[in-house]
Structure 1
C-alpha cells in the first residue's frame, strides 16, 4: 500500500510552509476516489492546531480592520475637538474685541464754543481750542471719568450711582467731584478750578503716580496750580461768574494781570502772544473783551482795550 504523506508530519503543521493533498469527499464520508479523508489521517492535536491557526489568521485580519476603524474614528474625534477649540478661540477673540471701549472725543476750533451732554446727564460747555474725551462701551455703563485739555464749564449731574465724577484722573492735577458746578482750566502748566456750587476735591499727584496731597474747595473759592513750581494757591473769589463769562463769548476782566489775560487768549486761539515792551509786564487790565470765532475782530478789540498796536504773523500775536 502507498504510504500516506500525512503520516510523515513530525512537527506542528504550518499552513504557509507545508503542502498537503486532499481528496474530494463523497456522500458516505469517504473520498470520491476511495481514498482516506484528511481528517482521518491527522491526529487530534494536529487538528486542533490547524483550526487554531485558521481562526488565528481570521482573527488577525479582523483585528487589523478594527484597528484601522478605531484609528479613523480617533482622527475624526481629534478633528472635531480641534474645530470646537478653534470656534471657541475665534468667538473669545471677537467677544474680547467687542468689549474694548471706544473713545468719544469733543474738540473745538480756536474761538469756538461747544455744548454737549455726557451719558450720565452731565452738561459740558467747552471753550475754544479745547478737547474732552471719555471711554464708551456697549457692554458697560459710563464710568464718569473724562480727560480734558483747555477749558470747560462743568455742570455735573447728581445720580444714584455712588461713583464720583473724575477729571484727568492720575494726572499731576486731577479733580474729583459729585454733583457740582465749576469752571476748570488745564492749559500747559497752568491749572485752575473755580467752584460755583457743590464740592470739589483736588488731587495733586507726584509725577502722575499716586495721590500726594488732597484739597477740598468750597463754593466761591478759586484754586490755581503752577505745574512748574508745583505750587497750589486757594483763595476766595468775589465773582466767579466772571471767570466763566467766556461761555457767552466774552472775557470779563477786573484788575487782572495782563500776562495772564494774554495767556488765556493764546490758549483760546492757539496763538503765541508776545509783549514787545517790558513795561506791559505788570499792567493790570479791566474791561470786557468780546471773543469769538473771528480772530481778526478779537485782535481789533484787544488793540482798543490795551490802546496798543498789534501785529499778527505765523501764529504769533505781538503787542507793541
Structure 2
C-alpha cells in the first residue's frame, strides 16, 4: 500500500504529503488522520516530515492559463503521435524477422528517448517563462493599497496576503489568491476577461467589473457586494460526494460560507458597514462585543481574555476610528461601557466597576 514503509525523507519528498501539510483540505485531513491512526509506527516519521516542510518557505508559483494549455497541447500531441507510431510498428513487425524486430525495437527506444527529451526541453523553455508571482502581505493593524496589472485596485486589510501573476496579457484569466480580507475595485476590460478571486479550495468569486469585499478568516469566507454583479462558485462535500453550487449576487447582498458545516447564508446588508475599514473607521450596526474581540485577534494580533463572558452578547451601533491601537481600545471601552486593560499583547475585558 502507498506510504507504507516511508521514511521521513520519503514523506518530505512526496507531493501528496506536501500538499496536505501546506494546503490541507477536509478530504486530505480525513485521509491522513485515518492513515496515521491505522499506522501508529509511522507517527514519528510523519511528525518529523511535517516539521521539515513547515520550516521551508515554499513559494507558490502561478502558471498563467494560456501557458498551461500550451504545454498540455504539446504533451497531448506528442503522446498521440507516439501511440500511433507504436501501433503502426506493432502491426508491421508481425511479418519481419526476429533480428529486424530487435533492430526496430532498439530504434523505437532511441526515438522515444529523443522525443521525451525534446518534450521535456520544450516544456522547460515554456515553464521558465512563467510569470513570477507578486505577493503582498500586511502586518497586524496595517492596510495596503495595491494596483493590479489590469489597473484594478485592491485594498488589503490587516493580517492578510494577496498573490497574483505578474503577467495578465492577452485574454488569459485575471486571477488572485487571497488569505485574509480585501476590498476589490475591478475594472472591466475590452476583451471581457474574467476576474477570479480564490479564497480556498471550496469557493471562488468570478467577476468582470465591480466592487466587493472578501473576507477569509479561519473557516469562514464572507463576500459583500457593493456594486455590479458577481458569480460565486461553491464546492460542497457531502458524504464524499462533491457538488458545485453557482449563483449570482446583487449589490447589497452578503454571502457567508462556513467550511465546517458546508453551509452558506445569503442576506441583504449595508455594504458600507463591511468596507468601512478602508476609511480607517469601524461602523457598528448592532455589532456584538464578541465580533469586536474576534476583530482584535485577527486584525491586530491581540490575545483577548474576557473576564465576564456575558459581556460578549452586548450590542451597540455607532462608529469607532481605527488606527492607533491604544486609542482604538479606549473607544471600544467607551462605546461598550466596559473596562479594557492591555499588557503587551494581552487584552483583558471586564465589567466597568460601579461606585456607590
Q: Distance in 2 between matches of 1:233 and 1:93?
A: 44
Structure in which a larger fraction of residues adopt helix: 2
Which residue pairs with 2:267 in the alignment? 235
Q: Is the 8 A contact 1:107 1:132 kept in 2?
A: yes
Match 1:150 to one of 180, 203, 207? 180
Deviation at 1:269, TM superposition (A): 0.9
RMSD of aligned C-alpha atoms? Answer: 2.9
Q: Distance in 1 between matches of 2:134 and 2:220?
A: 25
Which residue pairs with 1:218 in the alignment? 250
* 2:311 pairs with 1:311: no
Deviation at 1:304, TM superposition (A): 1.9
Which residue pairs with 2:227 in the alignment? 197
Q: Deviations over 1:148-178 (max 9, x none)?
A: 1111111111012333111116622221111
Q: Is the 8 A contact 1:145 1:169 kept in 2?
A: no
Deviation at 1:209, TM superposition (A): 10
Deviation at 1:201, TM superposition (A): 1.4
* 2:292 pairs with 1:261: yes
* Structure label with greater radius of gyration: 1
Which residue pairs with 2:281 in the alignment? 250
SS of 1:206's equivalent in the other structure is strand
Q: Distance in 2 between matches of 1:314 and 1:232?
A: 37
Q: Is the 8 A contact 2:179 2:199 kept in 1?
A: no
Q: Is the 8 A contact 1:120 1:142 kept in 2?
A: no
- 1:253-292 equivalence runs, <5 A: 253-292=284-323
SS of 2:150's equivalent in the other structure is coil
SS of 2:333's equivalent in the other structure is helix
Q: Distance in 1 between matches of 2:223 and 2:121?
A: 46
Structure 1-normalised TM-score? 0.65
Deviation at 1:251, TM superposition (A): 0.3
Q: More deviation in 228-237 or 165-174?
A: 165-174
Q: Distance in 1 between matches of 2:231 and 2:122?
A: 40
Which residue pairs with 1:106 in the alignment? 136
Identify if the C-alpha distance between structure 1 residues 91 and 223 changes in structure 2 by more than 3 Å, giving closer, same or farther: closer
Identify if the C-alpha distance between structure 1 residues 221 and 263 changes in structure 2 by more than 3 Å, giving closer, same or farther: same
Q: Distance in 1 between matches of 2:241 and 2:293?
A: 32
Q: Is the 8 A contact 1:183 1:195 kept in 2?
A: yes
How many residues of Structure 1 are paired with residues of Structure 2 in the alignment?
234
* 2:180 pairs with 1:180: no
Which residue pairs with 2:11 in the alignment? none
Identify if the C-alpha distance between structure 1 residues 118 and 210 changes in structure 2 by more than 3 Å, giving closer, same or farther: farther
Match 2:149 to one of 119, 122, 126? 119
Q: Distance in 2 between matches of 1:186 and 1:199?
A: 20
Q: Where do 5+ consecutive residues of structure 1 fail to align?
A: 1-84
Q: Is the 8 A contact 1:119 1:142 kept in 2?
A: no
Q: Deviations over 1:26-47 (max 9, x none)?
A: xxxxxxxxxxxxxxxxxxxxxx
Q: Distance in 2 between matches of 1:148 and 1:209?
A: 26
Identify if the C-alpha distance between structure 1 residues 318 and 231 changes in structure 2 by more than 3 Å, giving closer, same or farther: farther
Q: Distance in 2 between matches of 1:139 and 1:181?
A: 22
Identify if the C-alpha distance between structure 1 residues 217 and 314 changes in structure 2 by more than 3 Å, giving closer, same or farther: same
Which residue pairs with 2:198 in the alignment? 168
SS of 1:215's equivalent in the other structure is strand
Q: Distance in 2 between matches of 1:234 and 1:194?
A: 10
Identify if the C-alpha distance between structure 1 residues 130 and 169 changes in structure 2 by more than 3 Å, giving closer, same or farther: closer
Structure 2-normalised TM-score? 0.59
